[in-house]
Amino acid sequence: MKKIELYDTTLRDGSQSEEINFSVEDKLRITEKLDDFGIHYIEGGWPGANPKDSEYFRKARRLHLKTAKIVAFGSTHRAKSTPGRDTAIKSLLESETPVVTIFGKTWDFQVKEALRIDLKRNLELISDTISFLKKRVDEVFFDAEHFFDGYKSDPAYAVSCLKAAEDGGASRIILCDTNGGTLPDEIKKIVLQVKKEIKTPLGIHAHNDSDCAVANSIIAVQSGARQVQGTINGIGERCGNANLCSIIPALQIKKGYSCVSTEQMKSLREVSRFVNEIANVRHFNRQPYVGDSAFAHKGGIHVSAVSRSAATYEHIDPELVGNSRRILISDLAGKSNVLRKAEEFGIHLEKDSPQLLDILSSIKDLENRGFQFEAAEASFELLMRKTLGLHRRFFDLKGFRVIVEKRKEGEDPLSEATIMVKVGGHIEHTAATGDGPVNALDNALRKALEKFYPELRAVKLLDYKVRVLTAGKGTSAQVRVLVESGDETGKWGTVGVSENIIEASWQALVDSIEFKLLREEDREEA
């Protein structure tokens, strides 16, 4: 089994994504997470380029890493200087990393237009920089910037740049598709040709501008590359970098290469979500391997087939990458979907029971009216419990009123909700303000109920989405409201539909609270 080196550049190349901004503490936490996962090389940044990267390298020395080596990134020395006098090279050495990656131009167009030096001088920059660093650090990698474009422009010169790096003592030579425009068949052809001329182990660094970065990385490995560079979740400048969350399982599970241990592979989804959380970006549900929808099944025929054999509609076992199978509920649902969901919820339901048909009928009717349960499984569980007689009401609404008042131009409106509920034989009448009418209603409802159910203090409204369902009706259109709530133990989604946005919101808020109370009740009984 051939070993593939994993080189992660999330902290450097990934941070160039327009919505990403890592703090030093963020970068240190991600470093430790990547090390636990089994990444071999972690590119921490460009020392000297900004205070944040310099601080990261100082603090990273104190990390106790088990697998990974920290890498400092920089360029070849300036044309009018020497490696020993170049301040950027000095900063690389001051980072005290065991590995340094140097990038250099390999496209004749870039040498002439960007560096504005002759082609021979560029070869000297590459060789001299690597030779200087190789005497002072354990490993020096050469990122051959714009290599594939350079090869297509002038193959002989592009390869001569690689040979200059090899002559300088480069530990690895990385072929970079910097503009991300090369296609897989070109990658294969060029890598195979380079292998005939360069003895130093090769790597691949692909960008995703043609949506081929993952495919290009895989085919480069099959053609002889032994190091893969990329980022977690494919974040990066423009369209992003090669996505390690897709490359690693493809190489290891499908092609038999060795990247990480089997146990480490099971944490792939966790690593993906961890980086997104630190970066404060939403998870991409349809991301292969690690997304919430990667192994989600909606159509009744699909669910029935998967129940018999997962291989019918799943390309790998989701547990191999730390994911899980999900059965979605929608108007496409069949009996298999509902039975699987009942099992998930811990509800006993016979496949021949009349209640099963009742549930299916309710789903189809409600979704025809605009309800959607794929992102509102808490509402679906409540629907199922009500149909089976396993639900009880925790309170009754006697009435509510929501007022939005704007007192002066330029000031934000004031929102206030008044509510009256009945719990047992007690009537509670209260009011609350909020950032908007829905927030005010949520605050008033919970304020009224917390006296009876103090566990509701832990519930937070995490997300609120509104979608117009009936186009062309203007402000009288029907809307669907999806609410995501959570506490210290988890998150859950609920849904409401009405022509009145406050009523739709009320439905979703009530489901959210009832789901929380039912769950607490179940725990007490257990």
In contact, 237 and 17? CB cutoff 8 Å: yes
Rounded Cα distance between 48 and 247, Å, is: 31
* Number of C-beta neighbours around residue 502 at 10 A: 16
- In angstroms, the Cα distances linking 60 to 22, 33, 90, 362, 455 are 15, 13, 18, 57, 42
Domains of the chain: 5-260 (3.20.20.70), 335-394+458-526 (3.30.160.340), 398-452 (3.30.160.740)
The pLDDT assigned to 306 comes to 67
Residue 414, CA atoms < 13 Å, CB-side half-sphere: 7
Distance of CA 90 to the CA centre of its chain: 36
Q: Which tokens is 128 given?
A: 């001299």
Q: Residue for token digits 């439905």? A: 507
Spatial separation of the C-alpha atoms in residues 11 and 23, rounded to whole Å? 10
Would you state the structure tokens that stand for residue 221, as one six-digit string? 């490995």
In 20-120, at which residue ranges do the beta strands (DSSP E only) sit? Answer: 41-45, 69-75, 99-105
The C-alpha angle with vertex 322 and arms to 316 and 327, in degrees rounded to 5, equals 70
* Cβ within 8 Å of residue 492, ≥6 positions away: 377, 378, 484, 485, 486, 512, 515, 516
| pLDDT the model gives residue 301 | 66
What pLDDT is recorded for position 197?
97
Judged on CB neighbours under 10 Å (0-12, 13-18, 19+), 113 is exposed
Picking from 478, 514, 521, the residue whose alpha carbon sits closest to that of residue 494 is 514
Distance CA 329, CA 336 (A): 10
In this prediction, residue 330 carries a pLDDT of: 66
| Spatial separation of the C-alpha atoms in residues 328 and 373, rounded to whole Å | 8
Residue 275 buriedness (CB in 10 A; 0-12 / 13-18 / 19+): buried
Residues of the chain with pLDDT under 70: 299-301, 303, 306-308, 310-311, 328-334, 336-337, 470-476, 526
Of 397, 474, 478, nearest in space to 441 by CA? 397
Q: For residue 475, is it left (φ>0), alpha (ψ between -120 and 50) or beta?
A: alpha
- What is the DSSP pairing of strand 396-405 with strand 414-423? antiparallel
Detail the DSSP E strand segments found in 424-478: 426-434, 460-468
Percentages of the chain per state (helix, strand, coil), in multiples of 5:
45, 20, 35
- At residue 40, the 3 state secondary structure works out as coil
Q: CA-CA distances (angstroms) from residue 3 to 6, 200, 221, 406, 491?
A: 10, 16, 11, 66, 39
pTM of the model: 0.71
Q: What is the pLDDT of residues 146-156, one digit of tens each?
A: 999 999 999 99
In this predicted structure, what is the pLDDT of residue 278? 86
Surface-to-core class of residue 468, CB atoms within 10 Å of its CB (0-12 exposed, 13-18 middle, 19+ buried): middle
DSSP annotation of 394: S
Residue type, 296: A
Rg of the chain on CA atoms, in Å: 29
How far is it, in rounded angstroms, from Cα 444 to Cα 442?
A: 6
Nearest to 219 by CA among 180, 247, 179, 178: 247
Q: What is the pLDDT of residue 474?
A: 53
173 in Cβ contact with 140 (< 8 Å): no
Residue matched to tokens 């025929």: 301
Structure tokens at 246: 């897709």
Which sign, positive or negative, has the C-alpha torsion 266, 15, 11, 147? positive
H or E, element range at 298: none
Six token digits for residue 444: 């008033």
